Amino acid sequence: MEDALSALDTTATHTPTASVVIRPTSGPVPPRLDELWSFRELFAILVWRDIKVRYAQTKLGFAWMLFQPLALLLVYTFAFSHLARVTIPGIPYPVFALSGLTLWIFVSRATLTGSESLVMNIAVVTKTPAPRILIPLAANVSVLVDYFVSFVLFVIIAALYGFYPTWEIVFTLPLLLATFALTTGLTLFLAATNVRYRDVGQALPFLVTLWFFLSPIAYQLQTPGHSWQTIVQAANPLVGLLLAFRWALLGTPAPHGMLVAALLVTTVVFAFGVVRFAHAERTLADDA
């Protein structure tokens, strides 16, 4: 019996799938999709861990996912609607703000946690051969949960103000996908850079705050703006995505040109992030 087993073993070790060849590579290493697929369980467990750990040792636990957008909503409503007297024609301010915050909560969290993810999981990088790209990807995916909670919250609050979803709400899904591609591309680049230059982790909170004020989340764009303003807005993919998101949820005017610009920039950012990461992945363990 033992012999039969070991004979099986021997043949098993000679199947080409079970053998690994290690040699120097050069240039960016494209992600091996079949290899990533074989790590899907690890990926799922990393996502689950990221979600679970975020609310570990909190009394309210997952209720924080509801609490945080609500608290932000209250602060922005007070600051922008009452202090700065921002008014949005035809839309109650809380509904307007929450529609933007729903997307922004995802973008800001995904950017921050995604960029820190490799540094936070440095042992996985330096001690295991698991594909490193799983780590920032899992961080981005784990934040989707917060998005869906905020989204449901938005639907409820909008309904309370008498805004009911129309069929265009289905467009929020492809828009979310584009936003996900944007944060993924961004965080693949930032996470890999952060391993070598920890400045990224220091600077990012400020940059994210700046991004918030540069994007029409709590306020509305002046139309028509100056031409240089239009260029800045077109370069910020969040502008087009937010405008399209509001169109899908609240029926505001559709941002044709801005959305095209946003999708273009998103594609470039995503491709850049994937290529940069593929380039950096080979030396991540050495840089750590």
Partner 1 sequence: MPEPVVISATDLGKCYRIWTHSRPTTIKDRVEHLFMRGRGGGERPTREEIWALRGITFEVRRGEVLGVIGPNGAGKSTLLSILARITEPTTGEARIDGRVSSLLEVGTGFHPELSGRDNVFLNGAILGMSRREVNEKYDEIVDFSGVGDFMEMPIKRFSSGMYVRLAFAVAAHLDPEVLLLDEVLAVGDSAFQQKCLRRIDELTQSGRTVLFVSHTPASVAQLCSRVIVVNEGRIVFDGDVEDGLTVYLGSPQLDGGASALEQESQIREGTGEIRVAEVRIQGADGPRVVPDKPVTLEVDLVAKGGASARDLVVKLGIWNVASNQPVTLSTEYAPPEPAPDFGLAAKSTLVCEVDELPLRPARYVVSVSVERHGTVLDFCRHQTELTIHPADFYGTGVIPRDTHASPVLVRQRWHVVDDAFSAQTSAADVRLGAG
Q: Which 118-157 positions form the footprint of partner 1 (CB under 8 A)?
A: 121, 123-130
Residue 146's nearest CA partner among 241, 240, 50, 219 is 50
Site stretch for partner 1 (CB under 8 A), options 48-56, 160-168, 229-237, 257-265: 48-56
33 binds partner 1 (CB under 8 A): no
Nearer residue to partner 1 within complex by CB, 115 or 215: 115
- Burial code (b: 16+ CB inside 10 Å, e: under 16) for 219-245 equals bbbeeeeeeeebeebbebbbbbbbbbb
Look at the chain and count its residues: 288
Nearer residue to partner 1 within complex by CB, 32 or 256: 32
Q: Which 184-203 positions form the footprint of partner 1 (CB under 8 A)?
A: 196-199
The answer to whether 191 touches 135, Cβ cutoff 8 Å, is: yes
4 binds partner 1 (CB under 8 A): no
Beta strands in 54-157 (DSSP E): none
169 binds partner 1 (CB under 8 A): no
45 binds partner 1 (CB under 8 A): yes
Nearer residue to partner 1 within complex by CB, 46 or 103: 46
Nearer residue to partner 1 within complex by CB, 41 or 224: 41
Nearest distance from C-beta of residue 213 to partner 1, angstroms: 24
What is the Cα Rg of the chain in Å? 22
User: What span, in angstroms and rounded, lies between the C-alpha atoms of 86 and 76?
Assistant: 10
Q: Which two three-digit tokens encode residue 205? A: 């909170």
The answer to whether 158 touches 98, Cβ cutoff 8 Å, is: yes
24 binds partner 1 (CB under 8 A): yes
The answer to whether 124 touches 99, Cβ cutoff 8 Å, is: no
Nearer residue to partner 1 within complex by CB, 33 or 83: 33
Site stretch for partner 1 (CB under 8 A), options 43-51, 60-68, 71-79, 99-107: 43-51
User: What span, in angstroms and rounded, lies between the C-alpha atoms of 102 and 239?
Assistant: 14
Site stretch for partner 1 (CB under 8 A), options 51-59, 62-70, 95-103, 257-265: 51-59
Site stretch for partner 1 (CB under 8 A), options 23-31, 84-92, 224-232, 241-249: 23-31
Tell me, letter by letter, the H, E, C secondary structure of 137-201.
HHHHHHHHHHHHHHHHHHHHHHHHCCCCCCHHHHHHHHHHHHHHHHHHHHHHHHHHHHHHCCHHH
41 binds partner 1 (CB under 8 A): yes
In the complex, the residues that contact partner 1 under the rule CB under 8 A are 6, 9-10, 12-14, 18-25, 41-42, 45-46, 49, 52-53, 56-57, 121, 123-130, 196-199, 282-283, 285-286
